[in-house]
Structure 1
Amino acid sequence: MKLKLNNQYILNLFCTLLIIVNISCNNRNLSDKNNQLGQTKTDIKLLKFTSGVRSFLEDTKGNIWFGSYNEGVCLLHNGKFQYFTTENGLSHNQIRNIYEDKNGVIWFECGKGLSIYDGKKIIIYKERNYDLTKHWKLNDSDLWFKGDEIEGYNKLENNPGVYQYDGKKLSYRTFPVTPKSEDERRFGYAISTPFLKGKNGTIWFGTYNALIGYNGTNFKIITDDYLGLQKENGFLHIRGILEDSKGNLWIANNGKGVLIYDGKEAINFTAKQKLTKEDTKGNSLDRAFSLGEDSKGNIWIGTVESGVWRYNGNSVTNFTKKDGLDSKQIWLIHKSKNGELLFGGANPSGVYQFNGKSFERKY
């Protein structure tokens, strides 16, 4: 009887030890898993820019370029960030737009001047041609850039216009416009958006006070006068343009809101949706800054101070800090090569993506 009790005791003890070991292993595995998750989150690489992400490019070699408001440009290559400023060959630390030409050369449209990256180093691009400023002709691989000044035009440019790079040389082309005032000379026809190539081949240029299109033969110039805008109902202040999948042109205005141009007339989307400051007590859609369209046909609108808005064809939804979007100003909306939209912001700086419900910081 005593032997049976001892055996039973040993059996119970063994079972108890087995349970303790199992619980300990499970706790350790859970702890390891939590540590791995925490490490993964810590390892997410974030840009060190503080002034805002203003431009973006995925090049043909798989690199990603980020342009800042006043801190130069950053290259993401093989998981590592490399930063460049005027000390490394940029003509200016503000990077308005970034393009890649047919030869794989990266072009930086800076606040002042242009710089290029040839795969090894960044240098200031100084060659200019002013011989045929009115000789407009379109080529399939053209790149277009704003004038060399932060605002207005210099003595060599002489009139509002753009630089055209045809793959061989950079030439200045003047717009068929005549500034009516000093403010228009300094500001009105200065390029304020990336150039846009429409589905019908028309090249569109967003300037602060006009949208200018050229189809290879004729110009289309949409101004305040064309739209019937006056001081009472707000002037144009264009900061973003988009041609949607239906062929409509969307115009983002910092102050006027969003306009939609169907080729014949323009409607005020902000007013139609009753999202002006007068219509809303909270966030409004008056200060629109950037535009994008996702793979489902939703139109996304980035603003100053009121987050991002999504239009699904019927209703408009607003996303702000409560939805993970910390940046108060969305400089750009970029559709990546895999079809996702990336949102570059400022205050604070960062690049975000939408996960279907909310925003997450990606860079």
Structure 2
Amino acid sequence: MNKNLKLIYFLLILIINFSCIENRSAEKETGMPGLAATLSADTLKFTSGIRAILQDSKGNYWFGSQNEGAGFYNGKTFKYFTTKEGLADNQIRSIQEDREGVIWFDTQNGVSSYDGKTIKNHTVNENAENEWKKTDFDLWFSAGTKQGVNKYDGQKLNYLAFPDPVTVPGGNTYAVTSFSKGKHNMQWIGTYAGVFGYNGSNMTILNNKTLGINNEQDGLHIRSTLEDSKGRLWIGNNGIGVLLKNGDAIIHFSKELGKSIPINELEANTQSRGFNKNKGLQAVFAIEEDSDGNIWFGDRDSGAWKYDGKTMTNYTISHKLSQPMIWTIYKDNNNNLLFGMAGGGVYQFNGNSFDRQF
């Protein structure tokens, strides 16, 4: 073989090897879960509403539906889990991951976990001697209609009753509706009739009296809570809108909003879109903070609202949706803001409008 042929042969080997390396790299990139990956033709099939979203430590997405179980997306395909696969119930209210990578589902009928192979349903320890304690690794769950909370401490799932139960005006109870982690080791627990804050030693109770809500007709009906990066606590109600606790000050945020944007204008805006059940920010089921510090609200009737500290902006997620209700707003590992809709589908805010992602 002469020198020219040897050179050509050598170059061909280099080209082939480089091509193989490049292909392997491309396969790895495509297989990475996340919004940057190309979605398959298959899309999330839930139509009953998306109540919960989680992106786990491996980058996989989990979705909890109103009555169709849980969905899993690994960047390529979807997989589904229902009571047929072992879940305690098909209504999924929240999804969490523990420090071992196990996925936990808070369902309408109990707590289930999935370790990648097996679904396990957990029995709650309801011993009356259970004491309120707190670690950084606790998982918190609702306790159905009971006025307390279920907490997993890494070994057992214990029921903890709220202190000093009282008769709440208007028929609401201290049944759990939401959770939010706060500063100074605070765990906020939203219930229909109030918010409990527990830091491991002291319990704070925010109810009609402490929040200055005295009219039974305008009483609390809490569906969402969030402590933001500034330490402010936002409380979303189904009926009286948003309350804001900023230090010791309590602000009825939705009413304050009405001073800068006339209520009749808000009503006209929502009615023009065909959503005329409320006059703006009144039935708030989801609250989240984006990476820029904006506070987002998901309303039952009027879609999404963004508060930048000065101005409120109202967004319609999609005119194709049968209903505008937002069940959940979730910030994923890449700071993408995802909106789970009551009519099914998960949408991402792109800076101006919303694109369906799942």
TM over 0.5: yes
Tell me, in whole angstroms, the C-alpha distance in 2 between the residues paired with 1:82 and 1:214.
36
Greater shift, 91-100 or 73-82, is seen at 73-82
Which residue identity lines up with residue 298 of structure 1 in the other structure?
N
**Equivalent pair of 2:69/2:80 in contact (CA under 8 Å):** yes
TM-score, structure 1 as length reference: 0.80
Aligned to 2:81: 84
Which of 348, 353, 356 is residue 358 of structure 1 equivalent to?
Answer: 353
Which residue identity lines up with residue 314 of structure 1 in the other structure?
K
User: How many angstroms does 1:132 deviate by?
Assistant: 2.1
Tell me, in whole angstroms, the C-alpha distance in 1 between the residues paired with 2:320 and 2:230.
30
Tell me, in whole angstroms, the C-alpha distance in 2 between the residues paired with 1:325 and 1:353.
14
Closer/same/farther in 2, CA of residues 181 and 211 from structure 1, 3 Å limit? closer
Which residue identity lines up with residue 82 of structure 1 in the other structure?
K
Q: Which blocks of at least 5 consecutive residues in structure 1 are unaligned?
A: 1-39, 154-159
User: How many angstroms does 1:131 deviate by?
Assistant: 4.6
Which of 234, 246, 267 is residue 281 of structure 1 equivalent to?
Answer: 267
1:137 aligns with 2:133: yes
Aligned to 2:303: 307
User: How many angstroms does 1:237 deviate by?
Assistant: 1.0
Tell me, in whole angstroms, the C-alpha distance in 2 between the residues paired with 1:293 and 1:84.
30
Aligned to 1:241: 225
**Equivalent pair of 1:290/1:332 in contact (CA under 8 Å):** yes
SS state of the match for residue 188, structure 1? coil
Closer/same/farther in 2, CA of residues 101 and 216 from structure 1, 3 Å limit? same
Tell me, in whole angstroms, the C-alpha distance in 2 between the residues paired with 1:127 and 1:192.
18
**Equivalent pair of 1:142/1:164 in contact (CA under 8 Å):** yes
Identity of aligned residues (%): 46
Which of 167, 183, 189 is residue 174 of structure 2 equivalent to?
Answer: 189
CA offsets per residue over residues 75-134 of structure 1, 9 Å max, x none?
11241111111111111110000111111111100011111101112222225252523x
Which of 145, 149, 164 is residue 177 of structure 1 equivalent to?
Answer: 164
User: How many angstroms does 1:324 deviate by?
Assistant: 7.5
**Equivalent pair of 2:142/2:150 in contact (CA under 8 Å):** yes
Paired residues for 1:301-340 under 5 Å: 301-321=297-317, 327-340=323-336
TM-score, structure 2 as length reference: 0.81
Aligned to 2:288: 292
**Equivalent pair of 1:277/1:286 in contact (CA under 8 Å):** no
SS state of the match for residue 227, structure 1? coil
Paired residues for 1:1-363 under 5 Å: 43-133=40-130, 135-147=131-143, 149=144, 152-153=145-146, 160-180=147-167, 187-193=172-178, 195-231=179-215, 234-274=218-258, 280-282=266-268, 283=270, 284-321=280-317, 327-346=323-342, 348-363=343-358
Tell me, in whole angstroms, the C-alpha distance in 2 between the residues paired with 1:300 and 1:264.
23
Count of residue correspondences: 310
Tell me, in whole angstroms, the C-alpha distance in 1 between the residues paired with 2:73 and 2:218.
41
User: How many angstroms does 1:182 deviate by?
Assistant: 9.8
User: How many angstroms does 1:44 deviate by?
Assistant: 4.8
Over aligned residue pairs, what C-alpha RMSD do you find? 2.3
Greater shift, 225-234 or 290-299, is seen at 225-234
**Equivalent pair of 1:229/1:235 in contact (CA under 8 Å):** yes
SS state of the match for residue 280, structure 1? helix
User: How many angstroms does 1:327 deviate by?
Assistant: 4.9
User: How many angstroms does 1:241 deviate by?
Assistant: 0.9
**Equivalent pair of 1:307/1:325 in contact (CA under 8 Å):** no
**Equivalent pair of 2:50/2:346 in contact (CA under 8 Å):** yes
**Equivalent pair of 1:323/1:359 in contact (CA under 8 Å):** no
User: How many angstroms does 1:358 deviate by?
Assistant: 0.7
SS state of the match for residue 338, structure 1? coil
**Equivalent pair of 1:206/1:212 in contact (CA under 8 Å):** yes
**Equivalent pair of 2:123/2:157 in contact (CA under 8 Å):** no
Closer/same/farther in 2, CA of residues 91 and 43 from structure 1, 3 Å limit? closer
User: How many angstroms does 1:322 deviate by?
Assistant: 6.0
Closer/same/farther in 2, CA of residues 269 and 82 from structure 1, 3 Å limit? same
Tell me, in whole angstroms, the C-alpha distance in 1 between the residues paired with 2:79 and 2:67.
16
User: How many angstroms does 1:233 deviate by?
Assistant: 6.1
Tell me, in whole angstroms, the C-alpha distance in 2 between the residues paired with 1:322 and 1:52.
15
SS state of the match for residue 164, structure 1? strand
Tell me, in whole angstroms, the C-alpha distance in 2 between the residues paired with 1:270 and 1:51.
29
Closer/same/farther in 2, CA of residues 277 and 288 from structure 1, 3 Å limit? farther
